[in-house]
């Protein structure tokens, strides 16, 4: 039986609890260090299928700024980050852009949209 211990800092809230996840054959069997159930859930996800929110910028034509900050509206599988970043880099949008506007409906098949996080006015 393969045993492993992974250590994390919980990022779900500002408390930043130090977490330990004990795994047997790749399956989490115990989580310690968490002050609430959300920490346990975070440690299990981080150990088995880590996810991240992607934040970046997209080129804008005709805007008062050349770049628009964007983010995924939720977390996406960590292994999809590289492909998602390529999709973001290839994207070009035109001003005006409203905060919250969906720029990609379903980024890399994750079911999560990419949205603008600020208004860009016409130049």
Residue numbers at the binding site for ligand SF4 (CB under 6 A): 10, 12-13, 15-17, 34-36, 38-39
CB of 13 to ligand SF4, least distance (A): 3
**Alpha-carbon distance 57 to 71, whole Å?**
8
Q: Which is nearer to ligand SF4, 18 or 66 (CB)?
A: 18
**Alpha-carbon distance 29 to 20, whole Å?**
11
**Alpha-carbon distance 109 to 97, whole Å?**
24
CB of 72 to ligand SF4, least distance (A): 21
Q: Which is nearer to ligand SF4, 19 or 88 (CB)?
A: 19
**Alpha-carbon distance 66 to 62, whole Å?**
8
Q: Which is nearer to ligand SF4, 11 or 99 (CB)?
A: 11
- Nearest CA-CA partner of 116 in 50, 107, 90, 104: 104
Q: Which is nearer to ligand SF4, 16 or 109 (CB)?
A: 16
User: Which residue lies nearest ligand SF4, judged by its C-beta?
Assistant: 39
CB of 15 to ligand SF4, least distance (A): 4
**Locate tokens 């880099």: which residue?**
89
């Amino acid at each position: 039986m393969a045993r492993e211990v992974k250590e994390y800092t919980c990022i779900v809230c500002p408390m930043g609890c130090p977490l330990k996840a004990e795994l047997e054959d790749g399956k989490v069997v115990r989580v310690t260090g968490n002050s609430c159930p959300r920490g346990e859930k975070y440690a299990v996800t981080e150990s088995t299928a880590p996810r991240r929110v992607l934040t970046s910028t997209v080129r804008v034509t005709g805007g008062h700024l050349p770049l628009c900050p964007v983010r995924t509206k939720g977390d996406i599988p960590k292994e999809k980050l590289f492909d998602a970043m390529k999709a973001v880099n290839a994207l070009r949008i035109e001003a005006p852009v409203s905060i919250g506007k969906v720029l990609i409906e379903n980024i890399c098949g994750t079911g999560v949209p990419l949205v603008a996080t600020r208004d860009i006015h016409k130049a």
